[in-house]
Amino acid sequence: MKLRRLALTALGLLVFVPGSGAYHLLEQTTPNGDIVRLSWSSAAFPVGYYVNDRQPLDFPLQEAVEAVNQSFQTWEDVETAAITFELAGLTDAEPFVFFDDKSTLGFTSDPDLAQPGVLAATLQVIDIFTGEIVEADIFFSNLFVWSVDPNGESNTFDFVSVAVHEIGHFLGQDHSDIGFMESVGFERELVSGAAVMFPFSFGPGSVEGRTLTVDDETGVSLLYATGGFLQLTGSLAGRVTKGGQGVAFAHVVAFNPFTGETIAAFADDNGDYEIEGLSAGPHTVRVNPISDPASPPDFGFPELGTDLDYSDTIFQTGIAEVTPSAVTRGIDVEVER
């Protein structure tokens, strides 16, 4: 592959905000004007990854390697996605050196990367014509104290939870907006059940981020579908409007009360949306703007071009019935300020 076809893209950050599933897939506009989803080629599996051989500050290197393996395995265990990984070995390559054909994970104290509030990030090298991911590096910030304790450890961040989130980016997923912060005493905490791909962590001591939600699994299954996933699931599609005009980048959440599955997607800049990967049956559909502490750039949307000025609204003018292998259209929602 020629180097000139490759570009560095998609900075996926997991942010910790003190006191603070919709899948969303990374996309790229090609030089031809096509929009393609970023993903690894099926020929790339098992995808090999390296672990930086520098001793982490908070636990032995071997425990870091085991935690990384466990995190990759979490995604590999998704039955409706055909993905496999293998540890290629330890390396002295840094996790932010690109075009070295090594997908590397490691800790860093580099002040350009380890910034306040940023726990970790994933950076990818892609083929700009096809959207194929050819390399992805993940760094974890040494500004924070980490733990690999299976039960979590107070005042430390769970390394596995954060690694699982970053590997979601590694695979081509963007942030999900399924989640919000709730007040607990004088603190704000991420609500239980939020998607692993929500841009903010569950906070110190929590290991909830080790467990994928249906929204997370749906995202990766759409990219690497297997096991009849696309045949067994369907889509809801419609338009979000305000005063008859499309609402750019509205967040649309579908809930199937028979399966308990909550899956969401974002509308495009015209307010048109399609939520894929939904199980058969009736769904409730609600629309909400991206809300504090998240912001449009957390999801790759422009700050100024994203409409945030409307109230949460529920689709209630018909039946949002999902049929396998089909798209149910006309699930339109008019929102108000």
Partner 1 sequence: MRGALLLLMTALATTATGAHAQFEVNPSAPGQRGMPRRLEVSGFVGGMTVDQSLGTATNLYQSVTGAATDVTFGKLYGFRASWGFTPNLAAEFNVSSSSNAYTFDIDDLEVGNVALGEQFRSDRLYFGGNVVYQFPKGNVAPYVTGGVGLARETPVEAIAGIDRVSALAFNVGGGVKYWFSSPQWLGLRADVRYHTANDGVTFPAGTSSPKGWEFSGGASFRWF
In the complex, the residues that contact partner 1 under the rule CB under 8 A are: 178-180, 191, 193-194, 232, 253, 255-260, 262, 279-282, 284, 286, 288, 311-314, 316, 319, 321, 323-324
Find the shortest distance in angstroms from Cβ 231 to partner 1: 12
Q: Is 1 helix (H, G, I), strand (E, B) or coil?
A: coil
Give the residue from 268, 318, 313, 311 showing the smallest Cα distance to 286. 313
Find the shortest distance in angstroms from Cβ 261 to partner 1: 8
Rounded Cα–Cα distance for residues 253 and 182 (Å): 19
Q: Is 194 helix (H, G, I), strand (E, B) or coil?
A: coil
Find the shortest distance in angstroms from Cβ 182 to partner 1: 10
Find the shortest distance in angstroms from Cβ 306 to partner 1: 19
Find the shortest distance in angstroms from Cβ 146 to partner 1: 27
Find the shortest distance in angstroms from Cβ 194 to partner 1: 7
Closest to partner 1 by CB, 93 or 280: 280
Q: Is 52 helix (H, G, I), strand (E, B) or coil?
A: strand
Closest to partner 1 by CB, 139 or 229: 229
Contact 323/280 with Cβ under 8 angstroms? yes
Closest to partner 1 by CB, 39 or 288: 288
To the nearest 10°, report the CA torsion of 276, 277, 279, 284. -40
The distance in angstroms from the start CA to the end CA of the chain is 50
Which residues in 82-105 are b (16+ Cβ under 10 Å) and which e? Answer: bbebeeeeebebbbbebeeebbbb
Closest to partner 1 by CB, 9 or 259: 259
Closest to partner 1 by CB, 12 or 277: 277
Closest to partner 1 by CB, 78 or 254: 254
The pairing of beta strand 118-127 with beta strand 146-147: unpaired
Contact 315/222 with Cβ under 8 angstroms? no
Q: Is 152 exposed, middle or buried (0-12, 13-18, 19+ CB in 10 A)?
A: buried
Find the shortest distance in angstroms from Cβ 321 to partner 1: 6
Closest to partner 1 by CB, 211 or 316: 316
Q: Which amino acid is at 154?
A: S
